[in-house]
Amino acid sequence: MVCEKSKILVFGATGYLGKYMVKASVSMGHPTYAYVRPVNPDAKPSKLQQHRELESLGVTIFQGELDEHETMVAALKQVDVVISTLAVPQHLEQFVPSEFGNEVDRVSGLPPFQALLENKKKVRRATEAAGIPFTYVSANSFAAYFVDYLLHPHERTQHVSIYGNGDAKAVLNFEEDVAAYTIRASVDPRVCNRVIIYRPPGNIVSQLDLVSSWEKKTGTKLQRTHIPEQDIIELSESLPFPENIPVAILHNIFIKGDQVSFELTANDLEASALYPDYKYTSVDKLLDLCLVNPPKPKRAAFA
């Protein structure tokens, strides 16, 4: 007897991470649904194309605004799992909220970033208080995005900026792997009401590690400019909201090294250990891809 696949609904399905999530869900055979803003026939061609792409994958589309309660409830009643990839946390059998970053209950940051962490904590506590089964995903950093941001592989630049001394370790996970792990975890009873952390050993690198590897692969010596930690702190204090948020995030990831600031214990769930059969893309392999056809992420994802 074939086990029936869970029906998965993705919020933010046309966004940066949402597109990966939809493709991963479809590829694993799940009936996949997307909740998207209504699109009129006279909408921008890019919006119409996004809908056509979803339809071509066999995705069922629900159109509605986030404040249309009845429309949203009607969609939720038809699925088993809800995954939110919206830029700001929003609201079944399982809820995977909009996190996909640091493990919010175990890290802290400069005030602009700390405010985001506190917001995510509130969503966690509200979810738990409501008795909704959940999976919290700590995916750390998107590898294609930050490799592009730090190394500019499309441009083959001769110069790179190093935040702080460059020694702090970060966890850079390829976006396709983040989506694949998330779809697996969302229907895995072992992860229900738990936090799952994406920290594959091949993806723990410092900025200096990244730059050195890229220099070896390209045969090019890069000029490095170090940006002092104090400059980043002062920028986070002087820039207006929301421009101060990316600066505070850079500090947390690449200067403070918060993504590996705590040890994983036997009680923690780590994705590559939980799903050893899945062959993730290491940072080294991603750099090899960048030599031939580097991914071009949307810069808006960082903001």
On the 0-12 / 13-18 / 19+ scale of CB atoms within 10 A, 174 is: buried
pLDDT score at 45: 85
Is residue 188 within 8 Å of residue 234, measured between CB atoms? no
Would you state the structure tokens that stand for residue 45, as one six-digit string? 């061609």
Contacting residues for 129 by C-beta, under 8 A, at least 6 apart = none
Residues assigned a catalytic role: 120
Within its chain, how far is the Cα of 218 from the centroid? Answer: 28
Question: pTM for the whole thing?
Answer: 0.92
Residue pLDDT, tens place only, 208-261: 999 999 999 999 999 999 999 999 999 999 999 999 999 999 999 999 999 999
Is the C-alpha dihedral spanning 286, 287, 288, 292 positive or negative?
positive
Residue pLDDT, tens place only, 61-84: 999 998 899 999 999 999 999 999
Low-confidence ranges of the chain (pLDDT < 70): 1-3, 87-98, 299-303
- The Cα-based distances of 22 to 6, 65, 74, 121, 290 in angstroms read 14, 19, 20, 26, 24
